[in-house]
Amino acid sequence: MKLAVSLAVVLLLLLARHEAKNENEGFDLVDKAGNIRKPDDFRDRYQALGTYMVLNPKGNEMHVTYASAGAAENYRKTGKFADGTVLVKEVFGTDHAQMTTGDAHWASGTKVWFVMIKDEKGRYAGNPLWGDGWAWALFKSDAPDKQVATDYKKDCLGCHIPARDTDWVYVQGYPVLASK
């Protein structure tokens, strides 16, 4: 009996540690000055939220968005993203061809990555990439490890104005956020 109780306590401690790590994972991507790096292996470790197909005369794009572990489940339960949630939007060019199913389009070549980290506490108030409840970052494919945004209000927020009422995120394109 003592062994079973001990094992249960150890399991609970490990689960609590795992949950705490997931909650703070986003801030592991931030240095002391508030500079943000793109997460490694996000395609393998994060959940795909959804894809937007953007038809543009200058070149069609596919926007594929991923969220850190537990983000979708928390959103379904609470209707919001938890502090520390990381969203990565990978923007691809597209290619297409006639196939047996019709005119098929697919992602082809990454153009940019956008990274957002949910910040409920107003961390890094003096950093121009932090505000409105998020940290904001942009990485281009010619230098994928170099964050190039300088001010989220100038470089990021303009595209997010229509999503102001949904915490600056276009949640309608992410079916996994809807109740099961």
Q: Give per-residue pLDDT as tens, 12-36.
A: 343 444 444 445 578 999 999 999 9
Residue 148 has pLDDT above 60, yes or no: yes
d(CA 80, CA 143): 32
**Weakest-pLDDT range from 17-21, 24-28, 135-139, 148-152:** 17-21
Q: Name which of 123, 49, 137 is nearest 83 in CA terms.
A: 123
For the stretch 97-134, pLDDT in tens is: 999 999 999 999 999 999 999 999 999 999 999 999 99
Q: Where are the alpha helices (DSSP H) in the chain?
A: 2-24, 42-45, 71-78, 152-155, 157-160
Identify the residue whose tokens are 């109740």. 179
Angstrom CA distances, 13 to 2, 21, 180, stand at 17, 12, 29
CATH of the domain at 87: 3.50.70.20
Q: Which two tokens stand for residue 82?
A: 């938890």
Q: Average the pLDDT over 137-153 and give the result.
A: 97
Q: Name which of 135, 158, 159, 138 is nearest 148 in CA terms.
A: 138
For the stretch 164-179, pLDDT in tens is: 999 999 999 999 999 7
What mean pLDDT is reported for the chain?
89
Name the pTM for this structure.
0.85
For the stretch 35-65, pLDDT in tens is: 999 999 999 999 999 999 999 999 999 999 9
Range of the domain at 36: 2-177
Residue 180 has pLDDT above 80, yes or no: no
Count of the separate structural domains present in the chain: 1
Strand partners, 47: 67
